[in-house]
Amino acid sequence: MDALEAMVTRKVVRQFARRPVELEQLRRIVDAGRHAMSARNLQPWQFIIVRNPDTLRELGALCTTGRFVADAPAAVVVLKDTSNARWADTDCAQAVCNMANAGWAMGLGTCWVGNFDAAAIAQRLGVPGNLAVVTVLPFGYPADGNPPQPKPLKPRREVVHFERFGSSQP
Ligand SMILES: Cc1cc2nc3c(=O)[nH]c(=O)nc-3n(C[C@H](O)[C@H](O)[C@H](O)COP(=O)(O)O)c2cc1C
C-alpha cells in the first residue's frame, strides 16, 4: 500500500486479533514517528514500545477512554519533552499520524487514546520527570468480523476553498 492510499483508507481500530505483532514492525512504525516534522527539528518525542501482556493490561486499566489497550498485542506510549512546551504537542501529534499511517500500510490498526491517568502511566513505565505522556497507541491486526467502520467525512465543498474563503471554484 502506498502512502496516499494508507492516509485515505486508515480507520481507527479498537478491537484486535490475537495475532502477534513482530518487533520489527513496531520498530518500523516508531521509525516513521521519528521521521515526522518537528518545529526547529527539536524532535521532542520519546517512544516506549510495550509488548508485555501484563503491562498492556495495566495500561488499559489506566486509559479511561482506551480500555481496548489491554487487549492489544502491543502499544507505543508517546512521550513529549515538557521543556519544549511551545510545539511539543503538535510535533508529537505528527509523529502519531506517521505511526498510524505506517502501521496501517502494514495491515496494523491503532487508535489515539486521549484520556488516561498520565501520572500513573509515567510511574509504571519509569518515565523521567522532564517527559509527559501524550498518548498510548495500541497496535494490532484488526479483529476478524469487526472491520474498521467508515467515518462520516465532511464533504470537500464544506472544508476546501480556492483562492478565497467561500469560493468553491478553482
Ligand atoms: C486527539 C485525538 C484523541 C482521541 N481520543 C480517543 C479516545 O480517547 N478514545 C477513542 O476510542 N478514540 C479516540 N480518538 C479516535 C477518534 O475518535 C477517531 O480518530 C475519529 O472518530 C475518526 O475516525 P478515524 O480515525 O477512523 O477516521 C481520538 C482521536 C484523536 C485525533
The 3-state secondary structure of the chain, one letter per residue = CCHHHHHHHCCCCCCECCCCCCHHHHHHHHHHHHCCCCHHHCCCEEEEEECCHHHHHHHHHHCCCCHHHHHCCEEEEEEEECCCCCCHHHHHHHHHHHHHHHHHHCCCECCCCCCCCHHHHHHHHCCCCCEEEEEEEEEECECCCCCCCCCCCCCHHHHCCCCCCCCCCC
pLDDT at 1: 84
CB of 53 within 6 A of ligand 1: the answer is no
All cell numbers assigned to 67 = 480500555
**Distances from the Cα of 168 to the Cα of 49, 136, 153, angstroms:** 44, 38, 18
C-alpha of residue 150 to centroid of ligand 1, in Å: 13
User: Along the 170 residues of the chain, how does pLDDT read in single tens digits?
Assistant: 899 999 999 999 999 999 999 999 999 999 999 999 999 999 999 999 999 999 999 999 999 999 999 999 999 999 999 998 899 999 999 999 999 999 999 999 999 999 999 999 999 999 999 999 999 999 999 998 777 777 899 999 999 999 999 998 99
Binding site membership of 66 for ligand 1 (Cβ less than 6 Å) = yes
Ligand 1 pocket test, candidate residues 9, 11, 64, 112, most atoms within 8 A of CB: 112
CA 100 to ligand 1: nearest atom: 25
- Sorted by where each begins, the domain ranges of the chain are 3-159
pLDDT of residue 150: 77
- Closest C-alpha to ligand 1, atom 26: 11
Ligand 1 pocket, residue 151 CB under 6 Å: yes
Question: What would be the CATH architecture of the domain defined by 3-159?
Answer: 3-Layer(aba) Sandwich (3.40)
Whether the model pTM is above 0.75: yes
Residue nearest to atom 27 of ligand 1 (CA): 11
